[in-house]
């Protein structure tokens, strides 16, 4: 992937690859790619291990932004743990990718997510809180992720996820998902109810 034309865009795609750079991390050495979606004017990134061009069964994690978890290590969710485990897993593989999407709070945005946190503090679960604010349970969209996979020229993916909606979302966009790798995160006092709600109400597998 190194040296790929950073102005590349596929015909009919709303996502453009605009920049890439070397990215050493505590987990291992990656290359980071920056993408721009003209559809919703959002910037997304992909952290890539090795050369994923024309690969089949490529390990891929689709990770939606979680400012509170990824940045501040919130214990109310398992997002940071899933991010860490995914990067650790990918670093040990010959190739793979983590696609980081700008869709905070299952698509409702950061400030509304904080409002939802407050409602959860008052006794609602994560699904009830979103609904109380007037939002659907999950507003995330995986079309940008599918376009990024195609721009990276990945032919088929093994998806690191507990969420079956991610699999169907990618498949609906023409991505071949050959297998699922679960991310099993041990619950804590603060996120136990959250994880149970995701499993019971959102169909998550763990």
Q: Chain centroid to CA 166: how far? A: 9
Catalytic residue among 31, 80, 106, 140: 140
Q: 51, 84, 138, 141: which one is catalytic?
A: 138
In angstroms, how far is CA 103 from the centroid of its own chain? Answer: 9
Locate 9 and state its tokens: 């865009």
What is the pTM (predicted TM-score) of this model? 0.88
**Residue keyed to tokens 């050493």:** 24
Over the range 151-160, which residues count as b (16 or more CB within 10 Å of their CB) and which as e? bbbbbebbbb
Which pLDDT score, from 0 to 100, does residue 203 have?
54
pLDDT at 3 > cutoff 70? no
Q: Is 122 a residue of the active site?
A: no
Q: Options 3.40.50.10990, 2.40.50.100, 2.60.40.420, 1.10.4080.10; which CATH number does 15-103+140-201 get?
A: 3.40.50.10990
Q: Are strands 29-37 and 42-49 parallel, antiparallel or unpaired?
A: antiparallel
Tens-place pLDDT, residues 14-63: 999 999 999 999 999 999 999 999 988 999 999 999 999 999 999 999 99
- 140: annotated active-site residue: yes
> Who wins on pLDDT, 11 or 86?
86
> Strand pairing partners for 101?
64
CA 1 to chain centroid: 20
d(CA 44, CA 37): 8
Q: C-alpha distances in angstroms, 173 versus 25, 50, 146?
A: 31, 25, 6
Task: Encode pLDDT of 114-171 as tens digits.
Answer: 998 899 899 888 888 888 999 887 788 899 999 999 999 999 999 999 988 899 999 9
**Under DSSP, is residue 31 helix (H, G, I), strand (E, B) or coil?**
strand
Other Cβ atoms within 10 Å of 113 Cβ, number: 22
Strands 157-160, 58-64: pairing kind: parallel
Q: pLDDT by residue (tens digit) across 65-88?
A: 999 999 999 998 889 999 999 999
Q: Hey, where are the domains in the chain?
A: 15-103+140-201
pLDDT band per the 50, 70, 90 thresholds, residue 6: very low
- pLDDT single digits (tens) 98-108: 999 999 877 78
Residue position matching structure tokens 């990618």: 170
pLDDT at residue 184, rounded to an integer:
85
């Amino acid at each position: 992937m190194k040296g790929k034309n950073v102005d590349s865009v596929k015909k009919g795609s709303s996502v453009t690859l605009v920049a890439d750079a070397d990215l050493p991390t505590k987990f291992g050495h990656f290359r980071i790619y920056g993408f721009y979606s003209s559809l919703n004017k959002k910037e997304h990134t992909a952290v890539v291990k090795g050369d994923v061009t024309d690969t089949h069964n490529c390990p891929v994690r689709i990770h939606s932004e979680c400012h509170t978890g990824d940045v501040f290590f919130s214990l109310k969710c398992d997002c940071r743990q899933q991010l860490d485990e995914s990067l650790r897993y990918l670093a040990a593989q010959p190739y793979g990718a983590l696609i980081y999407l700008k869709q905070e709070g299952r698509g409702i945005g950061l400030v509304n997510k904080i409002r939802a946190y407050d409602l959860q503090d008052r006794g609602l679960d994560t699904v009830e809180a979103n609904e109380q604010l007037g939002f659907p349970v999950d507003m995330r969209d995986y079309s940008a992720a599918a376009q990024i996979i195609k721009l990276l020229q990945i032919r088929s993916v093994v998806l690191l996820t507990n969420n079956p909606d991610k699999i169907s979302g990618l498949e609906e966009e023409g991505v071949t998902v050959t297998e699922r790798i679960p991310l099993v995160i041990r619950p804590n006092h603060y996120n136990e109810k959250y994880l149970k709600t995701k499993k019971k109400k959102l169909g998550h597998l763990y």
